[in-house]
Amino acid sequence: MWCAVISLFPEMFNAITQHGITARAIQRGLVKFHSINPRDFAVGNYRRVDERPFGGGPGMVMMAEPLSKAIQYAKQLAQQEIGQDVPVIYMSPQGKTLNEQAVCELKQSLPHTGGLIILCGRYEGVDERLIQRYVDAEYSIGDYVLTGGELPAMVLLDSLIRRLPDSMSDAQSAEQDSFVDGMLDCPQYTKPDEFEGLAVPDVLKSGHHANIEKWRFLQRYQRTQARRPELLQHVVLSKQQQKWLKELDNVSSG
């Protein structure tokens, strides 16, 4: 995966490049990462990248010209390093919600696109003409406003990188996370066996893998039903899972 982030605060991405699974993926060459500061492409003594909005109003708007030059530079890097013209993604409150389906779609597109350029806005946003001219897709991590696109960009990168082959020591870990099959994750436990009067469920210590699988599924289903019932509308259950739910209903009704 090839990636370039365009941000006025590239040092924020040290959280991605220097820590955890994402850093290891970069160190092992699974991810080629660049950070590009649009201020490096601004003109004048003050290297301004923002101006007052036309029509008046509060705040400042990021100017199209330095951003366009930064994007063009990123595209040149992509051509030099992977020989592809990668898409530009703008992290924006107006974008499509970045949910599990969206991340999977982006992950599946990587063999064709080779990677992506992520544009991080600031202030009141960026000049609309820049979006019309250069942006291929917009994504939002939720219906709220942040001070910039850096945190959403890190959310997107973390979610993508952990899905790359060989990025995680245990490949099944990513497959069993919340939302992967449409449901929330089940409760997790580790040592000690008892903590402040609360014990680990016996089934998890039984060594009976079929019973553990059944328990985990029922826990996930019930937790999703209680906390996010709308998710269950799109969940496709196997015959075995349907049987487990029927057994649970019979026990409850009996």
Q: How many CB atoms lie within 10 A of CB 239?
A: 7
Omega cis (within 30) before 192: yes
Active site includes 127? Answer: no
Active site includes 58? Answer: no
Rounded to whole angstroms, how far apart are CA atoms 71 and 194? 54
List beta partners, residue 61. Answer: 51
Q: Which member of 124, 158, 181, 185 is catalytic?
A: 124
Active site includes 124? Answer: yes
Q: Which member of 39, 93, 181, 216 is catalytic?
A: 93
Q: How many CB atoms lie within 10 A of CB 248?
A: 14
The residue type found at 109 is S
Q: Which member of 65, 100, 138, 177 is catalytic?
A: 177
The per-residue b/e assignment along 214-227, b for 16 or more CB within 10 angstroms, e otherwise, is: bbbbbbbbebbeee
Helix ranges (H only) for 83-177 are: 100-113, 128-134, 150-161, 171-175
Backbone torsion region of residue 29, taken as left when φ is above 0, otherwise alpha when ψ lies between -120 and 50, otherwise beta:
left
Q: Which member of 122, 162, 163, 220 is catalytic?
A: 162
Active site includes 105? Answer: no
**Strand 88-97, strand 115-120: pairing:** parallel
Residue among 153, 31, 154, 22 at smallest CA distance from 81: 31
Rounded to whole angstroms, how far apart are CA atoms 151 and 16? 10
- Which residues does the annotation mark as catalytic? 93, 124, 162, 177
